[in-house]
């Protein structure tokens, strides 16, 4: 395993301009040579833009259909999804897929000593991150809500795929793991259709399948302060995910509160990390691990990552960033049309 270094760019005044990550795909519609066409299509789904680039015209349709299928199953924003029905009733016989992803989530909870926890859903609601009406709750409200948090409150009945919550009011949010899983499912569908080369970008959750006309796919890490990139990655058959505090957050009293929570305190995490990028063989691992490392911070996070085979981690620390915008609240990356 390779644990990567920090992304830093030193400007003329030796100022570190380090930067939150947004992925810009370097692949463009045409490679420049005749008969080397790439088809590119984008759709709004799972609360973000899903972009597909492939020399095979069928790829985008296959990816969108599969991501939509997963959204219908796992989105807490869709009232009829299995996750929403489970959240409402506290007990549900689920499909094997929903059971699988909740089981995987519980495994990450165990592996991370509780840092990764899908039962943060009531906290995400309380702080206004679900409806995007951010607010600073009262201390007592946070304390009460913490009674509903903890994946030990999820009981898995293997025999019939039933999920049961031990406490009334417990809810789950798969926002930190299901995007990665959706991309994995889409990649499987592409392979089944015989499509060997494709790049999927679901709001920064990326998979590079095969190559681009014999060369690795190139993914760039964007400098959000100006046009341009801070680093490039060349990837083949790899998933990438980034978790950070720079897209969904609000600022109060000059302090930043972002959408990733410390399940022990009930507050948005401040672990000294600005963003974590994980490159892994599959999207689920990359997604869940990036969020977990963000919660754990650099030292514990890297120690955990070392337990996963073939994983690379890149971390930007707060101390590397000089520009931090602490004046205005904003949400980027989630389109207004939702």
Note the residues at the interface with Mg ion (CB under 5 A). 176, 287, 290-291
DSSP reduced 3-state for 304: helix
According to DSSP, the β-strands at 23-25 and 229-235 are unpaired
Q: Rule CB under 6 A: say whether 216 interacts with ligand FAD.
A: no
Residue 137 vs 216, nearer CB to ligand FAD = 137
Considering the complex, what minimum distance in angstroms separates the CB of residue 232 from ligand FAD? 21
Helix or strand run (H / E) with residue 181 = helix 178-192
User: Measured in Å, how far apart are the chain's first and last C-alpha atoms?
Assistant: 39
Are 154 and 165 in contact by the 8 Å Cβ rule? The answer is: yes
Residues 274-293 that bind ligand FAD (CB under 6 A): 287, 290-291
Report the residue from 26, 41, 43, 47 that binds ligand FAD according to the rule CB under 6 A. 47
CA angle 42, 134, 72 (to 5 degrees): 40
Report the residue from 21, 52, 63, 74 that binds ligand FAD according to the rule CB under 6 A. 74
Q: Rule CB under 6 A: say whether 117 interacts with ligand FAD.
A: yes
Are 239 and 206 in contact by the 8 Å Cβ rule? The answer is: yes
Are 89 and 111 in contact by the 8 Å Cβ rule? The answer is: no
The entry of ligand FAD, Mg ion, none near residue 260 (CB within 5 to 8 angstroms by kind) is ligand FAD
Residue 106 vs 212, nearer CB to ligand FAD = 106
Please work out the total of residues on this chain that contact ligand FAD, with binding judged by CB under 6 A. 34
> CB under 8 Å to 332, separation ≥6 — which residues?
22, 246, 247, 248
112-131 CB burial, b ≥16 within 10 A, e <16: bebbbbbbbbbbbebbbbbe
DSSP reduced 3-state for 303: helix
Considering the complex, what minimum distance in angstroms separates the CB of residue 130 from ligand FAD? 8
Q: Rule CB under 6 A: say whether 297 interacts with ligand FAD.
A: no
The entry of ligand FAD, Mg ion, none near residue 268 (CB within 5 to 8 angstroms by kind) is none
Q: Rule CB under 6 A: say whether 77 interacts with ligand FAD.
A: yes
Considering the complex, what minimum distance in angstroms separates the CB of residue 16 from ligand FAD? 23
Considering the complex, what minimum distance in angstroms separates the CB of residue 73 from ligand FAD? 8
Encoded tokens for 48: 């973000």
Residue 62 vs 176, nearer CB to ligand FAD = 176
Are 120 and 109 in contact by the 8 Å Cβ rule? The answer is: no
Q: What are phi and psi of 52, to 5 degrees?
A: -130, 130
Residue 319 vs 332, nearer CB to Mg ion = 332
Are 174 and 74 in contact by the 8 Å Cβ rule? The answer is: yes
Considering the complex, what minimum distance in angstroms separates the CB of residue 45 from ligand FAD? 8
Are 281 and 287 in contact by the 8 Å Cβ rule? The answer is: no
Report the residue from 18, 21, 66, 75 that binds ligand FAD according to the rule CB under 6 A. 75
Binding part of the chain for ligand FAD, among 113-121, 188-196, 206-214, 219-227 by CB under 6 A, reads 113-121
Considering the complex, what minimum distance in angstroms separates the CB of residue 76 from ligand FAD? 7
Residue 322 vs 333, nearer CB to ligand FAD = 333
Cα gap 274→271, rounded to integer Å: 8
Binding site for ligand FAD (CB under 6 A): 46-48, 70-71, 74-75, 77, 116-118, 120, 124, 129, 173-176, 178-179, 203-204, 243, 247, 259-261, 263, 287, 290-291, 295, 334, 338
């Amino acid at each position: 395993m390779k644990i990567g270094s920090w992304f830093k760019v030193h400007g003329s005044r030796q100022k570190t301009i380090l930067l939150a990550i947004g992925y810009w795909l370097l692949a463009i519609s045409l490679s420049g040579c005749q008969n080397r066409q790439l088809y590119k299509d984008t759709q709004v789904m799972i609360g973000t833009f899903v972009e597909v680039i492939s020399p095979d015209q069928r790829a985008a349709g296959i990816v969108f259909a599969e991501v939509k299928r997963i959204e219908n199953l796992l989105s807490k924003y869709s009232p009829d999804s299995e996750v929403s029905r489970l959240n409402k009733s506290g007990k549900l016989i689920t499909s094997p897929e929903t059971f699988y992803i909740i089981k995987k989530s519980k495994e990450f909870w165990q592996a991370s000593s509780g840092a990764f926890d899908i039962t943060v859903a009531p906290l995400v609601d309380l702080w206004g991150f679900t409806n995007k009406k951010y607010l600073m709750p009262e201390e007592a409200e946070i304390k009460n809500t913490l009674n509903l948090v903890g994946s030990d409150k999820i009981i898995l009945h293997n025999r019939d795929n039933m999920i049961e919550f031990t406490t009334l009011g417990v809810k789950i949010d798969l926002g930190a793991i299901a995007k990665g899983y959706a991309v994995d499912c889409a990649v499987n569908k592409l392979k089944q259709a015989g499509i060997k080369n494709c790049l999927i970008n679901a709001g920064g959750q990326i998979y590079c399948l095969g190559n681009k006309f014999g060369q690795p796919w190139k993914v760039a890490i964007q400098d959000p302060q100006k046009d341009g990139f801070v680093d490039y990655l060349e990837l083949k058959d790899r998933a990438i995910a980034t978790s950070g505090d720079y897209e969904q957050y609000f600022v109060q009293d000059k302090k930043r509160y972002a959408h990733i929570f410390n399940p022990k305190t009930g507050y948005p995490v401040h672990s000294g990390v600005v963003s974590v990028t994980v490159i892994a063989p599959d999207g689920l691992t990359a997604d869940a691990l990036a969020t977990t490392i963000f919660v754990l911070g650099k030292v514990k996070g890297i120690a955990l990552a070392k337990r996963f085979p073939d994983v690379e981690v890149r971390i930007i620390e707060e101390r590397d960033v000089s520009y931090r915008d602490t004046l205005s609240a904003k949400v980027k990356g989630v389109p207004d049309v939702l």
